[in-house]
Every structure is written in structure tokens, then in C-alpha cells.
Structure 1
Amino acid sequence: MPSDTSLHYGLDSSLWRGRTDPEPDSERWHQKVQALSEGAAPGCALLGFACDAGVARNQGRTGAAEGPEAMRRALAPLAWHRRGPAYDAGDVRCEGDAMEEAQQALADRLAALLGEGHLPIVLGGGHEVAYASWSGLAQHLATSEETVPRVGIVNLDAHFDLRDPRHVRSSGTPFSQIANDCEERGWAFRYACLGVSRAANTRALFGRADELGVLVREDREITASRLTNIEQDLAGFIHDCDHVYLTIDLDVLPAAEAPGVSAPAARGVALALIEPLIEGIRDSGKLRLADLAELNPGRDIDGRTARAAARLVHLLTLND
């Protein structure tokens, strides 16, 4: 592995701290999360991606490399409601501009975790994490008995991230890279992008999404009165898939709820509307992998974005 990419194993106890209540059955995450060890029973495995080289290449506000630490700190004091175990699988850390090396390191680690039966949840990092997450899942599925797996990608995001990677690979290109990878593998590219801001995506990007058959729902469409229809659309998308990869760019949330991101949303989709969509994905029985991206602690106000991210991790793991 190149020297400018490192893989850290183990649990940093300085991050997993919180209050301890004397009443029985009152545990919190910091009391239950364990360091991942070889042969551990399948569970939820948290894996950090401390990288924002893709954000820098995309001319965004850097700082997301510190996101994994902030998410762990915010998750630590939350109440424990899981039945199965949860593990801290450490971090992949990118130094400098070694984005591709860090992506490959994360992909290899994810493939191993999936092979061991875990549900990996990646704590980013810039949204370049998406290509790494996909690569790990594809690497795992390529070793299975499925000839052509039907993999659905659900991206909760204000941006398509479908820019042309031939110019520069960045946090703005992962789904174009995935589309290219699907074409090379002979797999269908199944992509749903929910929460898209028309103001933040060019006509060329909307055209590219149309060419690729992307299921698109704009931020202005996801309202309380239309939520049932959106949920039905998402359920239909999932029905046609065997496996689902969920990726959450925290800039899908309004700036008031998620100020600590590279590109805060002027409108966004409220957490109260995002949560039912995530619950539907979680409860489908097809979720294999999830990641959260773009938390920038240096831009966060009162830790709002980190708390929102921690709540989403908590939500994703409630049914196990």
C-alpha cells in the first residue's frame, strides 16, 4: 500500500465517551461498540474514510477528512437500541492527494467486511467515498454465484455527482465512474438520486441523468404532502434490485440542519422527510452497505451536522 495512505485498525477510546446511567438496560453506544476482531459475529461495522482529496479537486471547502472522528463523538452518547453487535473497524486515511489509493484501500477493506457478513457503514470523508464503497461492494459480489447482480444505488444528495471523470476524478464524479464500471462489467446501472437541487446542477447534468435512466426526485418535490408517493417510487426502485447501496451526502439537508458541509443547501430536504426514506431502505432486507459523506467539522455550528449524521447512523442500525 502506498505510504501516503494508511489503514488504522482498532477502537479509539477517546472518541467513544459519554455518560453512564445507573439504571439497568440504559446503555449507550460508547458502552456497547467494540473493536472489530477476526472472527467476530456479523454486525454493524463502522469504517472511517478520512479523505477529502476529492473535495479539494472539486474546488470545495475542505475539512471532511475529519468527519469520521466527529461522527463517532456524536454517536457515542446516543442510546443503544440494537440487538446485534456494533464494531469500530478503524479508518482508511488519505494523506495529500492520494485519493485513488485511498479509494482502493477502502474498497478492499469493505469487500473483506462484506465477506464476513457485516453491514458496513462508512463514515466519510468527501463524496469520493461513493466510488470506493461501490468498488468494495462490486468486488464482493463478483465473487458470489450471481452472474449479473442487480445492484441499486440510492443517493440522498443535492447533487448528481455525474461529472465527466475524464477531466478530473473528484467528489463530483463518483456516479459517472460507477456507470462506466457497470458498463465494463455488463451490469445495469441502477441509480436513484433523491433531493437534487435544480439550482446546483447544470442542464448538462440533468441531461446526463436522463441518458442514464436515473430516478430523480428534486428537493422541492420531497414534501410532507408528497412523501407517500416518493416512498412508493423508492419502493418500486428497490423491488427491481437484489442489493442496495445507500449513500447519504449530508448536503441534502437544509443548511440550518447541516451547516457543516462543503456546499450548504439553500433549501434542502428536512431530516424529518429523509428519515422515512431511509427506514424504507433499511427495512427492505436488501441493504448491503451505506455511507455518509461531506461532514466538515470545521464548518459545523454547534455540532448540528455531526448530530444529524449520528442520528442517521443510529436509524440505519435500529432493526438489528
Structure 2
Amino acid sequence: MIQTDREAPRYSGRVDGSGAQHLRWHQLVTAQQSGDIQDSVALLGFCSDAGVKRNQGRVGASDAPAALRAALSPMAIHNQRELVDLGDVVVEGDELESGQERLAGAVTQTLNSGAFPIVLGGGHETAYGTGLGLLQHLADDRSTRIGILNLDAHFDLRDESQRTSGTPFLDLYNQTVQQGRDFHYAVLGISRPGNTVALFNKAEELGVPYLLDEDCEPAQIIEFVDAFLERIDVLYLTIDLDVLPASVAPGVSAPAGFGVPFERILSVCRQVVASGKVVVADVVELNPRYDIDSRTARSAARLIYEIAVG
């Protein structure tokens, strides 16, 4: 059994029939069992506001896993794949570090079991737990080149005295160096006004390739992503929903004034899945308290759907 803090809630929704041609997400997904989960897609919630609060953002992301499950539930299944929900890792109050360690442990266990984990955040502090789990999974395999592709308006390379939703990739850089690995990290969707000169300098210092939101045209996106995929063997895909325009994703900690069109973010998901290199993913920064007509949750669920069974 994968260790989490609480079991997944029950899924529910419309039922048109029990045959394969009628199936929806809620009919296919199962709760964690003691049996084999190899080759399955394994959902894992990370209920955390602590990193966003430390980063002076709008809190509410701890409610995101439930909102994402609700948005996924009615989706029709065209390509069947075993879906299992492992439940939630829950951060109580400001106990972020211990929560990230538990998340990392659950991700490691899931990868060791041969499943494909998709983490439902949580603020972007989720990324430290997800990435650390992958590093732990491959701790004895230093030859495999690990890549992190972040779809985000922000670098999240802040140098702070404690972990926040703005520090995860500098934190992961430090862990990667400790393992004696090269750090392969790229960001698509960067907002120039949303990142200080110091953050651009840090990205340059660490050799981080990035594509500005205003430069995210289809051809440039394909070239950028392909060039990054060529440098790595396995990929951790992390999607911060504030990469999307505020009209599509109003329910985030920091809504985008510009953003990358939804269809282009969707195309990135399809491109990296087609590469066969994605081994773990997370979707973060949904804040249901500020969502409008579940717009952000539905957009996020479509991206998860494409990664999982699209």
C-alpha cells in the first residue's frame, strides 16, 4: 500500500451504461487496493496552502485536489487505462517540510510500483515533493538524465530561508547537485513582469532555458520542447495553472495578465506524452475559492485527462 494521510473520496457522476462505450472517469477510477498497480495512472492529492501563504499569495490551494477530482469525474473515457486514486497527503497548518517529505515518499513508492503518478496540488510547493520522489526513485541510477519541464509564468527559483511555493526548483537544484547529477530544468510561459531581474539572473546562472509567454507561438513551442526533450531521458512535467490567461484560469494564487493560450499548453502536454519520456506529473496552484464557474478546475482537468488517458 502507498502511504498517504487519508483515503481518496468516492467519485460519482452520470451513468449512461456499464459497457466500455459508456464509461466515464468516475466509473473507471478505483480507490487504492493492496494489489498490483503496475502500469496504472495513480492520482495522489497534496492538500497544502503553507507554501503559498509563506510566499504571500492567496491561500485556498489545499482545497484543489477535491475540486480537480470533481472536474475529472464526468469525463468520458475513450482510451481505457487503469486509474487508481491513492488518496491525499495533507499538510496541517505550517508543517510544510514534513508534508513534502511524505509526498516524496508516496511518489517514490508509486514509481517503484511501476505506476505513473499524477499529483493534484496544492501550491507549487508541491513540486519539491514530486521532484524529490523522482530523485529518490532513481537514486541508484545516476546515468539516467532527469528533466523538469515547468509550464509556468514564474521561475520559482527564489532563494529563501525556508521553502515556499516560490522556491521549489532551487530546492530541487540543490538536491540534484547533492546526488551528483546535472540539473535539467526548463520553463515555458515566463512572464517578464512577473519575475525580477534577480530571478532572470538566477535562471541564467543555472543554465535554465525559458520561453516567454509573449513568444509562445506554436512553432517556437514545438522547437523549444523538442530541444529540451533531446537533452533528457525521463521527464517530470509540472503545470502551474497561472501559466494560463486569467480568463481561462481565474482561480489561482496569481492570475495572469497575459498568459499562454489554453490550446498551446494542451499541445505541450500532447507533445511530451507522445515522446514517451514523461514518468511523473503534477498540476498545481488551483484555488477553488477564487474560481468562476469551475473554469480553472475544468481547464486543469482537461490537461490531466490528456496526460492520463488522452
Following TM superposition, by how much is the alpha carbon of 1:23 offset from its aligned partner in structure 2, in angstroms? 8.1
TM-score of the aligned structures, taking structure 2 as reference length: 0.96
2:41/2:82 contact within 8 Å kept: yes
Residues 1:29 and 1:60: Cα distance change in structure 2 (over 3 Å): same
**Match for 1:253: what amino acid?**
L
**Structure 1 residues without counterparts, runs of 5 or longer:** 1-5
Cross-structure match for 1:8 = 5
Separation (CA, whole Å) in 2 of partners of 1:238 and 1:96: 38
- 1:297-318 deviations in Å (ceiling 9; x for gaps): 0110000000011101101012
Matches of 2:91 and 2:6 in 1, distance apart?
15
Aligned ranges for residues 273-312 of structure 1 at < 5 Å?
Answer: 273-312=264-303
Residue of structure 1 in register with 2:56 after alignment? 59
Structure-2 separation of matches of 1:316 and 1:251: 18
Q: CA deviation at 1:12?
A: 1.4
1:152 and 2:147 are equivalent in the alignment: yes
Give the SS at the match of 1:40. coil
Partner Cα distance (1:168, 1:91) in 2? 23
| Aligned match for 2:80, one of 79, 83, 94 | 83
Query: What residue number does 2:238 align with?
Result: 247
Which residue of structure 2 aligns with residue 188 of structure 1? 182
Contact 2:54 2:164 in 1 (8 A): yes
2: CA distance between counterparts of 1:178 and 1:34?
32
In 1: Cα distance, 2:308 partner to 2:223 partner:
22
Secondary structure of 1:90 counterpart: strand
Q: State the partner residue of 2:24.
A: 28
Map 1:264-279 → 2, pairs under 5 A: 264-279=255-270
How many percent identity over aligned positions? 48
> Does residue 127 of structure 1 match 2:118?
no
Unaligned residue ranges in structure 2 (runs of 5+)? none
- Who is 1:315 aligned against? 306
Give the letter for the 1:38 counterpart: S
CA distance in 2, matches of 1:236, 1:263: 29
Task: Provide runs of 4+ in structure 1 moved above 4 Å.
Answer: none
Q: State the distance in 1 between where 2:17 and 2:4 align.
A: 37
Q: Which residue of 1 aligns with 2:228?
A: 237
- Rounded Cα–Cα distance in structure 2 between residues aligned with 1:180 and 1:11: 32
Distance 2:269 2:112 in 1: 24
Give SS of 2:22's match: coil
Question: How big is the shift at 1:184?
Answer: 1.3
Higher alpha-carbon deviation: 148-157 or 227-236: 227-236
Alignment partner, residue 166 of structure 2: 172
Compare 94-103 and 232-241 and name the one that shifted more. 232-241
Name the CA distance, whole Å, in 1 between partners of 2:8 and 2:151. Answer: 29
CA distance in 2, matches of 1:9, 1:284: 34
Give the aligned residue type for 2:5. Answer: H
> 1:51 touches 1:124 (CA, 8 Å); kept in 2?
yes
1:280 counterpart SS class: helix
How much has 1:9 moved relative to structure 2?
Answer: 4.4
What's the secondary structure of 2:283's corresponding residue? strand
| Alignment check: 8 A CA contact 2:139 2:179 kept | no
Query: C-alpha distance in 1, partners of 2:65/2:97?
Result: 19
User: 1:95 maps to what in 2?
Assistant: 92
Distance across 1 between alignment mates of 2:23 and 2:49: 33
For 1:160 and 1:298, how far apart are their aligned partners in 2?
A: 24
Residue 242 (structure 1) shift: 1.0
